[in-house]
């Protein structure tokens, strides 16, 4: 009998867009991991005599208004984007799993109370909520990651709750209850491992959203603060010189577009490969 991993890979590799997205994400990880080796210049080194130089063999993506090498800053900026994406999603997934597990396992009034709170949270436009909190607390990389994480867990909680409502009625769960197994052990040892498939898909899509939110916050001046490089603040610095130095907006914009699109394609591929109802479509 074919293992679940082999079955998943057999369906996943049929989706060429998803495989391409995964390959692009791996390349981005390698770039971020080896940014200090790949960067030809110090990303914070300024040289006014070289300001706003177009792309050339000396500066592959040109220079900015302070003469800093845009290519080097883009490489280091990939670390910021990936860090924000994964840390923020780790926080949101943790909160979402805990909330969804409690609501789905206990059901009844507990489920009603928890899900009404989730509905209230969903009523607030997430980006403006994040923008407001960051504006009040002050911009920093750590605060951006935490705020994005604690304001984006609601979708995960709803997926986990739905899975728990289904799985809590299975025979193995009822048998564990009859044997007197503690609720915490049933939740985390018996039910949760079987409810993680949609969480993986949600996490992948949420990473793309977190990267986009961080770029938007940095673009507005509430994210990563200069001189630390991020794709968002490189983009906002280039806004002033959009007609004189097109490379300051084109290259960070493309980096954000390709990275977010890659995560979305990977998430769609994971969803299709993990859901038996969708496998026959490809």
Beta-bridge partner residues of 69: 63
Beta-bridge partner residues of 63: 69
pLDDT at 19: 92
Which residues neighbour 194 within 8 Å (Cβ) at sequence distance 6 or greater? Answer: 163, 167
Q: Where are the domains of the chain?
A: 4-44+56-279
Task: Supply the mean pLDDT for the chain.
Answer: 86
**Residue 1's pLDDT band (cuts 50, 70, 90):** very low
Nearest CA to 231 out of 242, 217, 243 is that of: 217
**Range in 44-48, 51-55, 70-74, 88-92 with the lowest mean pLDDT:** 44-48
Six token digits for residue 282: 């490809």
Q: Render pLDDT for 64-102 as a digit per residue (tens, 0 to 9).
A: 888 899 999 999 999 988 888 899 999 999 999 999 999
> 83-86 long-range contacts, Cβ below 8 Å, gap at least 24?
83/141, 83/145, 84/141, 84/144, 84/145, 84/148, 84/210, 84/211, 84/214, 85/207, 85/208, 85/210, 85/211, 85/214, 85/263, 86/207
- pTM, two decimal places: 0.85
**Residue 122's pLDDT band (cuts 50, 70, 90):** confident
Enclosing H/E stretch for 187: none
Fold of 4-44+56-279: MetI-like fold (1.10.3720)
Q: Residue 241 gets which letter from DSSP? A: T
Verify cis geometry, omega within 30 degrees of 0, for the bond prior to 126. Answer: no
CA–CA separation, 107 vs 149, rounded Å?
25
How many other CB atoms are there within 10 angstroms of residue 1's CB atom?
A: 5
């Amino acid at each position: 009998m074919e293992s679940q991993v082999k079955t998943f890979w057999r369906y996943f590799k049929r989706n060429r867009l998803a495989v391409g997205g995964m390959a692009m994400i791996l390349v981005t990880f390698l770039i971020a991991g080896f940014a200090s080796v790949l960067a030809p210049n110090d990303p914070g080194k300024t040289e006014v005599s070289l300001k706003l130089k177009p792309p050339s063999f000396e500066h592959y993506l040109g220079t900015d208004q302070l003469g800093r090498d845009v290519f080097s800053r883009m490489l280091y900026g990939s670390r910021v984007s990936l860090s924000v994406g994964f840390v923020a999603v780790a926080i949101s997934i943790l909160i979402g799993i805990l909330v969804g597990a409690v609501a789905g396992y206990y059901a009844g009034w507990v489920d009603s109370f928890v899900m009404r709170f989730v509905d209230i949270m969903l009523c607030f436009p997430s980006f403006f909520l994040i923008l407001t909190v960051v504006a009040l607390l002050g911009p920093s990389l750590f605060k951006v990651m935490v705020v994005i994480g604690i304001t984006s867990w609601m979708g995960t909680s709803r997926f986990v709750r739905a899975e728990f409502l289904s799985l809590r009625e299975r025979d193995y769960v009822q048998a564990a209850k009859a044997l007197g197994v503690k609720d915490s052990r049933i939740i985390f040892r018996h039910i949760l491992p079987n409810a993680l498939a949609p969480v993986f898909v949600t996490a992948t899509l949420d990473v793309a959203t977190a990267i986009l939110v961080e770029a938007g916050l940095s673009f507005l001046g509430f994210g990563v603060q200069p001189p630390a490089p991020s794709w968002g603040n490189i983009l906002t610095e280039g806004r002033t010189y959009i007609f004189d130095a097109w490379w300051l907006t084109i290259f960070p914009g493309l980096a954000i577009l390709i990275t977010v699109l890659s995560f979305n394609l990977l998430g769609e591929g994971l969803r299709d490969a993990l859901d038996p109802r969708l496998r026959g479509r490809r």
